[in-house]
Amino acid sequence: MSGNQIRIISIVLFCVIAIRSPKLYAQKIITPDSTATTFSKDTLGIDIGEVVVTGTRISKQIIDIPYPVTRIDYYNFKYDRKVGVGDVLSSVPGMFLQSRYGNHDVRISIRGFGSKSKSGIRGVRILLDNIPESEPDGQTRIEAIDFNSIGSIEIAKGNLSSMYTNAPGGVVNFINDINFNNSYVSQFNEFGSFGLQRIGFKAGIRTMNYGMLTTYSNHSYQGYREHNSEHWNIINTVVETTSSKNSSLKLLFYYVDGLIRLPGSLTKSEFENDPYQAEQRAIDRDTKRLSTKGRLGIRYNTRFGKKLNNEFELTTYATIKYFERTNKEYRIINRNGLGLRTRYINTSNLFGRKNELAIGADVLFQPARTEYYDNLNGKKSDQLLQLLNEKIFNNGFYISNNFEILKDKLFVLLTGRFDEISFKLQEETLPSRFDSRSFNAFVPKVALNYKLTKWISLYGSYGISYDSPAKNELESFDPSLLYNQDLKAQETKSFEIGIKGFVDNKNSYFFNRMQFEATFFKMNIDNEVVPYEIYGDVFFRNAAKTNRRGFELGTHIKLIEKLDFAFAYTFSDFIYNSYNALSIEIDSIGNINEIEKDFSGNIVPSVPRNNLYLSANYNQSIFKNIDGFVKVSYSGISGLWVDDANTDQTNGYKLLNSVIGLDMKFGKLNLLVSGGVNNIFDEIYVGFTNTNSAEGRYYEAGEPRSFFTTIKLGYKF
């Protein structure tokens, strides 16, 4: 059978199983956000009855959200290595992760958005405790994410631009672990290959009206490539208080400080000779980043009205960011920010039907001061070459209305958002110059959710996204300009249809529980923003029109008691419909040549056509107070094109990982010990593609075989 036939049959089978399943299972659990009904927690993992905020910005069960949403809780990855997002998010269908330098410069791609980002995360909105880690222009670095502090992760896939700024690919919300019942203290240690060491502590205090979480991590890693060491200190703190029966106040704080050395990208011949070497230029320049970041946020939430059917929330926050970066030049960046987020929700009956109305606003102002010096083998020169003062401002307003058309069956969600993003740049050194760019648009979306049963739903949506260029994308190749005046915003028309649900057949010994999700999507993109590189410097241009279509399928199945199976598959067919571009190439003697090329019909680079994840895990009570855990996972990734011209394609790769652990409880004392091996067969593969490099430096090696062990000792008061 062809691939298309297999995919169609898969959808039909899941629909038939879901509709014919004789029984559904649900159990009441009091959640932090509401008293909603959810599934009891076990190793099955992702439950569609869980309450999430990400996506609709209203506390809703996943089954009631008309697009694919996934929630991962700490118990799903408590035995695993917790260094980077690739360690915890690989099982999410539709998501592709490329780790460049450990947890730094991780490329998070959803449906191709973010797949060509050179630095940080692009096209996917990243939140920490519902506060943007993403800059006002959409660029994101995730140094502050500490997975020993994270309690849950919510992932909403697809076009979320009608609710969040610059989110054509979706939203990922990392939530600190403040929702606990008893006070505790724990100390964790993680050791592994290539000098991996993470040591820290975690403490939680819970009283009648107060809760506090504090986590500290010291992280060091020598890296599996030359010139690839990193050292970090991360502090996370959340304090919450219930000021009255229906009101709460939260204080959210983090601080992170560290250094990472960057090994650079390799040519194909260099990669084939030694994939773990560093680019010589990166060594000579001592290419590195020194980063200091901090954030303080205050959130007030209250419910009011006779039926408590009104909710108001206000979040204010301030950020500090200091960076030193060495490449061709030595840069020092001071970037601070002030932000505000507010929302109002009203739940009522309209024409005898349920209706949820939400309105909200987001404001973020971020001034920055950037100093440029000569880079003298990793040291800055004494002479200031250039001083730039920049102001980036983003304000947005959104409205959402979810209306019940057929009682308890059919719902329509209408959302829309207006955003304005402005850039102003002043050069204070000679020649003194000023430049500005501004982007604004209103983007709507309509979505339908039809519930076949209480726990199975069909959904579909159509929407528009407007993705403005990021600050680094606006840098001009023309030295007479501060901003690229030709670069336009990327616009996308997106459509999706899918089914998701939970089925339970308690009378069967095999396959007695299953959670599943299947989605087909199609997108047409105008003015897609793509990178190109000149002598290590990255610039961006618009590629005319791109057609993306694909299919995502994910399931968690309880095969037998204590044995669970997870499956995630993504098929991506991304083609440039029309793309006439100016290609800038360097000949053998170093001359820069401008050549007009037609890339129409080419495959979009840095996105695998096939992305498969499989895992099986087994839980068993060994003794009265000792539980054992074994997990084996497999990732199969097809080859990636390295540039728009499709001049080369990397080899596909297959990774096999395993972890084993013991969870021991002795009264109030808890000891967790686990260990594992990643890339068991030590496969050499390209883990990150440096897209559209003019020098052919496309290749960066993925992690070779590595070992790790975790020891966590906790005491509950």
pLDDT digits (tens, 9 = 90+) for 60-90: 999 999 999 999 998 888 889 888 888 889 8
Q: How far apart are CA 532 and CA 339, in angstroms?
A: 33
H-state helical runs in 210-260: none
pLDDT band at 122 (very low <50, low <70, confident <90, very high): confident
Q: How far apart are CA 92 and CA 72, in angstroms?
A: 9
The Cβ of residue 383 has, within 10 Å, a number of other Cβ atoms equal to 7
The pLDDT of residue 510 is: 81
If you ran DSSP here, which 8-state letter would residue 31 be given? Answer: -
Q: Which two tokens stand for residue 665?
A: 């409880």
The Cβ of residue 480 has, within 10 Å, a number of other Cβ atoms equal to 7
**203 pLDDT higher than 80:** yes
| Residue of 259, 206, 258 whose CA lies nearest to 235 | 258
**152 pLDDT higher than 80:** yes
**9 pLDDT higher than 90:** no
Q: How far apart are CA 6 and CA 61, in angstroms?
A: 31
Mean pLDDT to the nearest integer, 578-604? 77
* Residues 519-540 pLDDT 10s: 999 999 999 888 776 665 778 8
The pLDDT of residue 63 is: 94
Mean pLDDT of the chain: 88
The pLDDT of residue 587 is: 67
pTM beyond 0.75 = yes
For 59, 311, 358, 431, the CA distances from 307, given in Å and listed in that order, are 17, 11, 17, 63
pLDDT band at 648 (very low <50, low <70, confident <90, very high): very high
**385 pLDDT higher than 70:** yes
Rg (CA), the chain: 25
| 479: helix, strand or coil | coil
**432 pLDDT higher than 90:** no
The pLDDT of residue 37 is: 30
**8 pLDDT higher than 50:** no
**417 pLDDT higher than 90:** yes
Instruction: Give the whole-number percent of the chain exceeding pLDDT 70.
Output: 90
Q: How far apart are CA 702 and CA 80, in angstroms?
A: 19
The helix (H) or strand (E) run that includes residue 150 is strand 150-157
pLDDT band at 462 (very low <50, low <70, confident <90, very high): very high
Check: CB of residue 182 under 8 Å from CB of residue 670. Answer: no
Check: CB of residue 60 under 8 Å from CB of residue 51. Answer: yes
Candidate from 60-69, 275-284, 471-480 with smallest mean pLDDT: 471-480
Mean pLDDT to the nearest integer, 590-615? 88
The pLDDT of residue 40 is: 36
pLDDT band at 243 (very low <50, low <70, confident <90, very high): confident
**102 pLDDT higher than 70:** no
The pLDDT of residue 586 is: 65
Domains in the chain (CATH in brackets) are: 3-716 (2.40.170.20)
Check: CB of residue 402 under 8 Å from CB of residue 56. Answer: yes
